[in-house]
Structure 1
Amino acid sequence: MKHESISVYRKVTKLFNFPIKELVYTSSAEYGELKMYVFEPPACDELRPAILFFHGAGFSAGKARPEQFQHHAHYFSALGFVSICVEYRPRHVEGLFSPVTGIKHAKTAVRQVRAQSALLGIDPCRIFVAGASAGGYLALCTAMIETVTDLPDDLSGDLSVSSVPDVLIIFNGGVDTAVLIEMFPELSVDLAGASPKDHVRGFLPPSLFFHGTQDENIPYATVEEFVDAMWKSGNDSRLVRFEGLDRLN
């Protein structure tokens, strides 16, 4: 499958408190257009790093949307990053959205940014991916779940373009799909094969984790064990502990 070109920018301000531009990175008959919301840095002749943000709020609740990370994105754009808030599930499928589809969309987003890096003024070797909670899980999957082509309705795009980011930043992200399997038992086989803790290996991107010790949804101990396993596999993986805090998103 050949990757499609990202659509022409259209300036929008509806969801965000800052001037941003939107682009369509994929579309399907089932979900319609999915968009990226771009915070452009000051003009520069050099290629810039990019950072993609995936919002949280699980896979069945609409409490967080792409604008969740708008202040982070605005800050990073001031530092010279092309900052992008990614829509990975449309509003009209809330409560019906599969995390497996979320993985496909997340991988597609990274691939499209890398494939269209010249258009976006981005260095394709300096792509950061960040996410919170469910978005943190998806961020990890872009780097750790090598393929979803064996799953139905694959949307991952041109597999010759890597979906692996160069750096990961994870806010209280899931590392084990056990909770997701309880939520989506019909996807148990697929989700069992998409658990980051079972895909720890060497040569993964540097990763930075932020996690509260009182997180009830994703226990701190599971993330601590995960980061320790990443270190033992030779990866640069670090965990910042927030004592007494629950979720950070």
Structure 2
Amino acid sequence: MKQFSLVLLAALLTAHAHAQTPAPAAKAKAPDAVDQMAAALTPTRVLTYKKAGDNELKLHVFEPEGFKAGDSRACFLIIHGGGWTGGNPQRMYPFAAHYAKLGLVGISMQYRLHSKKTNVSVFDCVKDARSAVRYIRGHAADLGIDTQKIIVSGGSAGGHLAAATALFEQVNESDDDLKIPATPNALVLLFPVIDTSKEGYGSEKIGERWQELSPLHHVRAGVPPTIIFHGTGDTVTPYAGAKAFQEAMVKAGNRCELDTNEGGAHGYLMRNKALYDDTMQKADVFLKSLGLLP
């Protein structure tokens, strides 16, 4: 009996020790290729383009070498991903800086993040993206930007918001100046959320009104020239949606190119410097063909 009591006591002490030992912290995500490039970059200036409640939403601006007031340069606006619920402008600094090196004004934008706690919906994210384009056009003289040479780009949910600037004319902030168009002159979409149905991504976050925010379901004539970069192995924003969007765009008479990465998973070009460089080179060729690069 005494031996059994000692065994029981030892078991209790062991259990107590384990209970007091904190669980190991989750390992932080290792910086990928784009993160590593972003860490070395600093914007020329950061300015507020919109106030939404307590939020002051910012544009992180990269000005090209030799920039001066009164310039009229093309603009490359890039929008980060994160399922509309996370991410930050710093993530996309390399894209903005790349185009600043080529003589454009590069901008990485902030937007409100979707959250039930703060009552921010995906519709609000869309409104912010459209407000940002309107701000850029409305302040083109100060920003040194040509209002007819605005390129909007984004990755994943940011790609969705980029497409939203061209497609969702019915979704606007109540105090936006609707006389200023939100439609850009070209789109560069990186593994975008392009179909928000149950076969794609986002219907659960958007809710029953998902079709109002589904780029695939809003293709029409007159959409700006678009290039899409997407991997066939993408299980987050399925490749089938990008393919269907590209086909619908061409059928509607729009220019739309789809660059396919065989087997590429979601975000493939962010993790590999060679794939990132390849993407930028192809995007450059596309934009040069439109007269949007010097």
The code of the aligned residue for 2:50 comes to T
Partner of 2:203: 181
- TM-score normalized by the length of structure 1: 0.84
Q: 1:208 aligns to what SS in structure 2?
A: strand
The answer on whether the counterparts of 2:78 and 2:109 sit within 8 Å (CA) in structure 1 is yes
- SS in structure 2 opposite 1:198? helix
Measured in 1, the distance between the counterparts of 2:46 and 2:115 equals 19
Percent sequence identity is 35
**Correspondences of 1:24-173 after superposition (within 5 Å):** 24-29=48-53, 31-44=54-67, 46-60=71-85, 62=86, 64-89=87-112, 97-149=120-172, 154-155=173-174, 157-173=176-192
Matched residue count: 225
TM-score using structure 2 length: 0.72
CA-CA distance at 1:137 after TM superposition: 0.3
State the alpha-carbon separation in 1 of the partners of residues 219 and 59 from structure 2: 29
CA gap of 1:194–1:44, structure 2 versus 1, over 3 A, is same
How far the C-alpha of 1:146 sits from its partner, in A, is 1.1
Q: For the structure 1 residues 75 and 157, does the alpha-carbon distance in structure 2 shift closer, same or farther, using more than 3 Å as the test?
A: same
RMSD of aligned Cα (Å): 2.1
Larger radius of gyration: 2
Aligned residue number for residue 287 of structure 2: none
How far apart in 2 are the matches of 1:155 and 1:40? Answer: 31
The equivalent residue for 2:239 is: 220
Q: Which consecutive unaligned segments of at least 5 residues does structure 2 have?
A: 1-37, 271-294
1:183, distance to aligned residue in structure 2 (A): 2.6
Query: Aligned-pair distance for 1:76?
Result: 0.8
Question: Deviation of residue 203 (structure 1)?
Answer: 1.4
* Distance change (3 Å), C-alpha of 1:220 and 1:159: same
More helix by share: 2
